Structure 1
């Protein structure tokens, strides 16, 4: 997820780094969340930094259980198919 608009802040408080989240809900909740994302259309699974897309992500984040994954960028370098069955970014 992208940070909120921080352009009005002083330079030292402007944020540019992103955050990744790990889905922690049940399988049933995961399937529900997946249906919601599917309803966003073909482009819905393609990450976008736009305000509209970030709003959609925040709605999912509020509705279901996630934990902040501070190492999410590193996770992509680990090759193990079982680790990513429930990753949602």
Structure 2
């Protein structure tokens, strides 16, 4: 899967007319750099709130920021857990936020 993501990032940046490698791709303003995987769904350079699609979150945080797990949809209320950069966890939750 990482090969596909890296190739997707390269193709997206190459299509913009700028020659660069996947390592040179940058995040948008305010976004984390890297890939956040929420229940198997990858989010490249994530920012904001992502639904878990249920009440169990499997999270792989390959970004440079901490991801927070919320018990309710829409990242509402107080977070109940977090995953540091480079970490992974499985916990109860309905949404994940990263800023």
Same fold by TM-score, threshold 0.5 exceeded? no
Question: Which protein is richer in helix relative to its size?
Answer: 1
Higher normalized contact order (CA 8 Å, seq sep 6+, divided by chain length): 1
TM (norm. structure 1) is 0.26
Question: Which protein is richer in strand relative to its size?
Answer: 2
TM (norm. structure 2) is 0.24
